[in-house]
Structures are given as structure tokens and as C-alpha cells.
Amino acid sequence: MGSQVHGAQHFDKEKRKALHFGENAMIAAQEIVARYPADKKKSAVIPVLHIAQAEFGGWLSPEAMDYVAEFLKIKPVEVFEVASFYSMFNLKPVGKCTLEVCRTSSCWLCGAEDIVKYIEKKLNIKDGETTKDGMFTLKTVECLGSCGTAPMLQCGASFHENLTFEKVDSLIEKYKSEGRQRSYTDLDYQNTL
Ligand code: FES
């Protein structure tokens, strides 16, 4: 399916064969699928993609999307359509922490552009790029529903609001010292899956 669905992206059959959810991810994905009628498994595609993204290194390769399609018994193109629509899914490798800065009206009016420029300079990357050490990716996104506390950014399951340059400094230091991958399936996000 790879060449058809993912255009230029190479589909590696060997990588695909080796791809499996670990025990915890499998349990979580099965629990989600069980909430829907047997013939409506497609409804679980977004939460299962979140699990796949967290499980397979923070992004959805063609092989990972194919795995999700097989898991849900739907067509790979149906998975791709969803994964390519939402900015929360990454279709190329990203750093352990993706800093998603809201650039929509409230945040823009309250200085989001300056925040983006500050992060770009601090991390020596541009919007959409990843630091050389693989720690951070910077992404600008549309409204994240936290307009009253603009400007804000999201990293994994966490919102960082009323941003200042000092706040940006301390959250980057914190994430760097923890050094782990952040995802939407972090514990505090589980209930909303
Ligand atoms: S405009 Fe930034 S969260 Fe809504």
C-alpha cells in the first residue's frame, strides 16, 4: 500500500513486519476499540493513532499507519487521511519534545510571534525544524482552545500558558533535564483519549 497512499514516502516491508504495540500500548488500544461496535472500529482511529505515535518514536511512519490500519481493520488510506489532517500527528521524525506554539488570533495579539522568534533563536531552529540533538521540534499550530491565557504552547499533554520569555527558558530547561519523549498519551491526558 505504501507507494499508493504515501506518495514519496518509502514503505519498508521489513520494518512493517517488526512493528508491534508493546504490552501496555496494546492493552490501551484494545480498551479504546472495545468502546465501539465491532463494525465501527474506524471511530477509534484518532486515539489509536495517538498511542501509535507515542509508541513508535513520536511520529507516524507509513509502516506505523499501516499497522494502525490493520489493527482497526480499515484501509491504510483511511488512516492516512486522518493522520495527515491534524497537526497533532507528525508524518516525519520529530524531537523528544514538540513545542507547539499557537499562532491564532488571541495568541498572535498577545505576542506569539515574539515567542516563536525567541524559541527559534534559543534553539537555533526554524518553525518545523528539530534541534541537532533530537530534543526539540518547534511547530506553529492553530488555536489550541486556551485563548484566555494567550500566548500559549503545548508540549505533549501539557499546556504552558501566559507565556513569557522567562517561562520559555524554564520549560526548555525542565524538558532538557528530564530528557524524555513527551506525548499526548502522557498520564494526565489519558482521560480525554
Ligand atoms: S488563539 Fe491561541 S489558544 Fe486560542
List, in order of start, the domains of the chain with CATH numbers.
2-85 (1.10.10), 97-187 (3.40.30.10)
Q: Give the pLDDT score at 89.
A: 96
**Ligand 1 and 144: CB distance under 6 A:** yes
**Ligand 1 and 147: CB distance under 6 A:** yes
Look up cell 524524555; give the residue.
180
Mean pLDDT of 81-93: 95
pLDDT at 1 over 80: no
Atom of ligand 1 nearest to the CA of 149: 3
Look at the chain and count its residues.
193
**Ligand 1 and 149: CB distance under 6 A:** no
pTM: 0.89
Mean pLDDT of 54-81: 96
Q: Report how far ligand 1's centroid is from the alpha carbon of 119 (Å).
A: 18
What is the helix, strand, coil percentage profile of the chain, to 5?
50, 10, 40
Q: Report how far ligand 1's centroid is from the alpha carbon of 105 (Å).
A: 7
Please choose, from the candidates 176, 5, 149, 185, the residue with its C-alpha nearest in 3D space to the C-alpha of residue 77: 5
**Ligand 1 and 102: CB distance under 6 A:** yes
Distances 180 to 4, 76, 95 between C-alpha atoms, Å? 34, 30, 10
CA distance 122 to 129: 13
Q: Give the pLDDT score at 57.
A: 93
CA torsion angle for 101, 103, 105, 111 (degrees, to 10)?
70
Atom of ligand 1 nearest to the CA of 107: 2
CA torsion angle for 41, 46, 48, 54 (degrees, to 10)?
170
Sign, CA dihedral 87-88-93-95, equals positive
Side-chain-facing half-sphere of 29: CA atoms under 13 Å: 25
Give me the chain's average pLDDT, please.
91
**Ligand 1 and 110: CB distance under 6 A:** no
Q: Report how far ligand 1's centroid is from the alpha carbon of 161 (Å).
A: 10
pLDDT at 8 over 80: no
How buried is 135 (Cβ within 10 angstroms: 0-12 exposed, 13-18 middle, 19+ buried)? middle
